[in-house]
Structures are given as C-alpha cells and as structure tokens.
C-alpha cells in the first residue's frame, strides 16, 4: 500500500506533534475539523489536550455523530490521554454531560493519578512494542479503571502508587494510551498504529 492517510482531530490539543510523528512513520496526515474531512481516511488520531473542550467543540461542529459512525464502522483510531477519554464507552470523574465518541468497552477515570500529580513519568512495557519499555509521560492523565474481556490490555504502570493500573489498551482497530508518546521522541507507538492502519486498509 502507498502511504496511508491518517486524520488528526484538530479541535484542540497536541495536533502538530502527532502529525509530525505520523509523517515520520510514512503516513500522510490531514487535519479533521469538519465531518467531510473524515471521508477517505485510513485512520484517525485523537490527540491529548482537554477532553471536555474537544467533546464540546466536536458536538458544536456536528462532528460527534460522524466520528462515532466512523469508529463504529471500523476506521482504525488511536487516542492518547484526552484521546483515550474520547474513545471510552464510560467515564468516571467527568462532568455528567461529557460526551464521548466511544469504541472501547472500558471505563476510564479522568485525572486518575490524583489532583496533586500534574505529571508523572514511568517506564511502561507495552505488548507488541519490541525494544524495551516505553518512557511514558502522563499529564493529568486518565487510566482504564475497568476493561471488558474483549479489550486487550497492552500496558500497565509498574511500581509506585498507581502500580498495576491499565494505561494502554486495544480493542480491534481501536488503540489508546494514557500517556503521550508524541511528546517523547519514542516513535514506536505511532509506528504500531500506522502498521495497524496499513493492515486494516488491505493494500489499496
């Protein structure tokens, strides 16, 4: 397949960082701000940022339903941090009216590492990524509190107060991490997603 086209939801958050890493992995990228910009994509990335803001803007701009339909229809999606929150079917510690795109049969707790802990770094072993643990940067990050049996746990925190917490998951073609690989120079998570996109789009 020639370069897959991966859209990055560009309402708020670290859009530029994701696009740069995806392009370095051989993908073409485009910004998604309107429903028609979902047409023709091979994959979709939901960046880190502020999930309440992203969800509100998506709703206001008529993007929420098209995003749900795209993910439900099998468009591969990867969310980091706020992106994980957007891909969760259920939320904890979120405003009652916070909407999500969904697609992952998980319950995600927002700002799970505690209010005092603005950011936290750790080494996380991620299944499917060769070459040792990922240096994971968590910024007011969520974790996966509960995951259905159909969800594959790819990574957990090891050590410290959050020991054992789930911070990387995959369900079919939907992948999410609590941490921000787009900020660390470690390109393996994005390469993994670009490969998944290439596999799913079957060589067109």
Side-chain-side CA neighbours of 11 within 13 Å: the count stands at 28
- The answer to whether residue 145 is catalytic is no
Instruction: Compute the C-alpha angle 58/150/13, nearest 5°.
Output: 25
Residue 156 labelled as part of a binding site: no
- How near is the Cβ of 174 to ligand GLN at its closest, in Å? 17
- Residue 82's contacts (CB-CB under 8 Å, 6 or more residues apart) are 13, 46, 47, 48, 49, 50, 51, 54
Locate 43 and state its tokens.
């994959």
Nearest to ligand GLN of 5, 102 (CB atom): 102
Residue 139 labelled as part of a binding site: yes
Residue 50 labelled as part of a binding site: yes
- How near is the Cβ of 18 to ligand GLN at its closest, in Å? 12
- The answer to whether residue 182 is catalytic is yes
- The answer to whether residue 180 is catalytic is yes
Which of 17, 18, 182, 190 is an active site residue?
A: 182
Residue 110 labelled as part of a binding site: yes
Q: How far is CA 44 from each of CA 51, 59, 123, 189, 193, rounded to the nearest angstrom?
A: 16, 17, 26, 14, 10
How many helices and strands, by DSSP H and E, does the chain display?
A: 5, 12
* Binding stretches for ligand GLN (CB under 6 A): 48-51, 81-82, 85, 110-111, 139-140
- How near is the Cβ of 199 to ligand GLN at its closest, in Å? 27
Nearest to ligand GLN of 32, 86 (CB atom): 86
Residue ranges for the known binding site for L-glutamine are 49-51, 110, 139-140
The catalytic residues are 81, 180, 182
């Amino acid at each position: 397949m020639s370069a897959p086209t991966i859209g990055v939801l560009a309402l708020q958050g670290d859009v530029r960082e994701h696009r740069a890493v995806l392009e370095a992995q051989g993908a073409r990228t485009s910004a998604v701000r309107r429903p028609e910009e979902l047409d023709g994509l091979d994959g979709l990335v939901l960046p880190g940022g502020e999930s309440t803001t992203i969800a509100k803007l998506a709703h206001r701009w008529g993007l929420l339903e098209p995003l749900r339909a795209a993910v439900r229809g099998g468009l591969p999606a990867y969310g980091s941090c706020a992106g994980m929150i957007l891909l969760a079917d259920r939320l904890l510690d979120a405003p009652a009216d916070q909407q999500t795109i969904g697609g992952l049969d998980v319950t995600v707790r927002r700002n799970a590492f505690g209010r005092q802990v603005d950011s936290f770094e750790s080494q996380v072993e991620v299944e499917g990524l060769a070459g040792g643990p990922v240096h994971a940067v968590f910024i007011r990050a969520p974790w996966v509190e509960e995951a259905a049996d159909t969800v594959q746990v790819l990574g957990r925190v090891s050590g410290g107060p959050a020991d054992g917490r789930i911070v990387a998951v995959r369900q079919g073609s939907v992948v999410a991490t609590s941490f921000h690989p787009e900020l660390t120079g470690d390109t393996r998570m994005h390469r993994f997603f670009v490969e998944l996109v290439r596999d799913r789009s079957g060589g067109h």
